[in-house]
Structure 1
Amino acid sequence: MFCGDYVQGTIVPAPNFNPMMDAQMLGGALQGFGCDKDLLIDILTQRCNAQRLVIAEAFQGTFGRDLVSDLKEKLSDHFKDVMVGLMYPPPSYDAHELWHAMKGAGTDENCLIDILASRTNGEIFQMREAYYLQYSRDLQEDIYAETSGHFRDTLVNLVQGTREEGYSDPATAAQDAMVLWEACQQRTGEHKTLLQMILCNKSYQQLWLVFQEFQNISGQDIVDAINECYDGYFQELLVAIVLCVRDKPAYFAYRLYSAIHDFGFHNKTVIRILIARSEIDLMIIRKRYKERYGKSLFHDIRNFASGHYEKALLAICAGDVDEY
């Protein structure tokens, strides 16, 4: 999908786009021992992803060098992560983030949850393809090897991208809700499997009905029930799926707030969400953030980030808004 098809993002296609001029300006900005970081921000955060990819081609043709390699060489720390992250096509960026979440000694389970609980079937299919092309490995096999238990089973279910789309059946909603209710009461392995299969495979429209029926049957919200009955990453993943079904921008607003306030500014999470949602729904995420937490996302980024890193994050968030 071309980036301009998304109307709720903060980054949209630049008018009067001239990739050759942008490439030449970036070449100048990256020359010498230092580099013009302000110019990098002005260009790369004000072009949509499809335009950035065209700029990279023009850069290669003009200078005979790879733009991403030059950015990696000239930049450092979190500012480099932002600028380089902007250069990945969305499926490749998801693949990159998942790979780094699983490589090495530890696993970043929250990264796996954020990505796999929120992506559409089409996005998951493209992500799996990109993962194989970039790393010559199967994403599902890596997830299976790096995680365990019902958390692993749920992730594997999600990464298959088999969720029903655009389909709802009110007649079976109460039945599905009863299965969920029993799963929260019994907590056996079989019940956990049924629980995750419903949450991973039913359409968003169907799950809306199921959650309403669950409330009617149990007198309890599904999120509260999951939090009471389960724990660990399995519980966090199930809740993430429910929250994404209900209001995906609100889920990401919550994740940004947690990353900024609960972890002393968890840079990887903030960067990943801002880049991944910049052409999809970041404008709505900003709105949800302000509604729920009383302060703007701009305000909180300013309080915790600094320098060109801060400027780059704010530029991604800003869109066509002049005032932060």
Structure 2
Amino acid sequence: MFCGSYIQGTIVPNPNCNPMMDAQMIGGALQGFECDKDVLIDILTQRSNAQRIMIAEAYGNMYGTDLLGVLKDNLDGHFKEVITGLMYAPPCFDAHDLWHAMKGPGTDENCLIDILALRSSAEIFQIKEAYVLQYNNNLDQDIYSETSGHFRDALMNLVQGVREEGYADPAMAAQDAMVLWEACQRRTGEHKNMLQMILCNKSYQQLWLVFQEFQTISGQDIAAAISECFDGYFQQLLLAIVSAARDRPAYYAYRLYNAIHDFGFHNKTIIRILISRSEIDLTNIRQKYKETYGKSLFHDIKHFASGHYEKALLAICAGDTQDY
């Protein structure tokens, strides 16, 4: 489990936020032939999500129209994805990304993993409610129809939102570890189901103990065993759960590094992680990124992004420190 001295995001509530004044400034920025993107960045990346929602309400009262809709109509490209993404409440943003991950041809399995493997049971329920309200579809049914095999089984387990919270039983940990070890040895369908039931249902505190017992029993790290015994998206999902129990900032740093370097700047992944973690642990993710990969997240974003898109991403990464 992450042992950093202080878990913190880059964006915190701005004590100088005035929703009416902010809404008026945004309204002025959106008028004319070209909107003033700098104003949008300066305001929306320096307010908490709750404050942005208040700004949107003030904007609606002032102009009689929906701010999110106006932003969608007036912006384009990846800059549009960043600015509009900031306007969703966290469950709605996750629902938005899950919908687009499964909409149309192909499925973005990594998006499903990033969200469903690392959210609490309470967050899963909020996401499911938002998904129904926004798209009039059932998240469970969409996952079932868009995925397959043991990967689908594990996702369907996660989306039920039945993971135990804050509970740890040392006496049970050794037994769970034995089940995991046997599953890695035999690798049958039944044993895969037993393995994913433990990883998807046990609390992260319990999994922390289980992984220690697994090391004692097998002489092997659980992540190494999973990598050796399983493959594909099922393997990636299991490894994400292991990371969630051990070191979430390290997981997100790894995902950002891959999105920047391995896939030719996978914009949706970068935007999703920066926005969703901005008020939780993005500062820690930045630190882990530099420790692990030798260059700062700021450096790599500036190297691959440009224009107002780059400026918006950097502003989210820096928060109110502007230390890039």
Compute the displacement of 1:166 (Å).
1.3
The amino acid that maps onto 2:299 is H
The Cα RMSD (Å) is: 1.0
- What does residue 204 of structure 2 align with? 204
Distance 2:22 2:250 in 1: 35
2:248 is the counterpart of 1:242: no
Helix, strand or coil: the match of 1:233?
Answer: helix
The amino acid that maps onto 2:271 is I
Distance 1:321 1:62 in 2: 31
- What does residue 194 of structure 1 align with? 194
Q: Is the Cα–Cα contact under 8 Å of residues 118 and 244 in structure 2 kept in the other structure? A: yes
Give structure 1 stretches of 5+ with no counterpart. Answer: 1-5
Structure 1: which 4+ aligned runs deviate by more than 2 Å?
none
Helix, strand or coil: the match of 1:320?
Answer: coil
Distance 1:277 1:30 in 2: 27
Q: Deviations over 1:241-293 (max 9, x none)?
A: 10111011111011001100111110000000000011111111111111111
Q: Is the Cα–Cα contact under 8 Å of residues 46 and 320 in structure 2 kept in the other structure? A: no
Q: Deviations over 1:71-92 (max 9, x none)?
A: 1111110000000000000000
Helix, strand or coil: the match of 2:68?
Answer: helix
Compute the displacement of 1:196 (Å).
0.1
- What does residue 3 of structure 2 align with? none
Q: Deviations over 1:89-115 (max 9, x none)?
A: 000000000000001011000000000
The amino acid that maps onto 2:116 is L
Helix, strand or coil: the match of 2:178?
Answer: helix
The amino acid that maps onto 1:157 is N
- What does residue 252 of structure 1 align with? 252
Distance 1:181 1:211 in 2: 10
- What does residue 138 of structure 2 align with? 138
Matches within 5 A, 1:1-324: 8-324=8-324
Q: Deviations over 1:159-199 (max 9, x none)?
A: 11111111111111111111101101101010000000000
Distance 2:15 2:166 in 1: 34
Q: Tell me the number of residue pairs that the alignment of Structure 1 and Structure 2 aligns.
A: 319
Distance 1:7 1:260 in 2: 24
Compute the displacement of 1:240 (Å).
0.6
Compute the displacement of 1:16 (Å).
2.4
The amino acid that maps onto 2:59 is F
Distance 2:189 2:210 in 1: 21
The amino acid that maps onto 1:13 is P
Helix, strand or coil: the match of 1:47?
Answer: coil
Compute the displacement of 1:50 (Å).
0.5
Compute the displacement of 1:322 (Å).
2.6
Q: Deviations over 1:6-41 (max 9, x none)?
A: 971111111122111101100000001101000000
Q: Is the Cα–Cα contact under 8 Å of residues 315 and 322 in structure 2 kept in the other structure? A: no
**TM-score, length-scaled by structure 1:** 0.97
Compute the displacement of 1:61 (Å).
0.9
Distance 2:157 2:308 in 1: 40
Helix, strand or coil: the match of 1:56?
Answer: helix
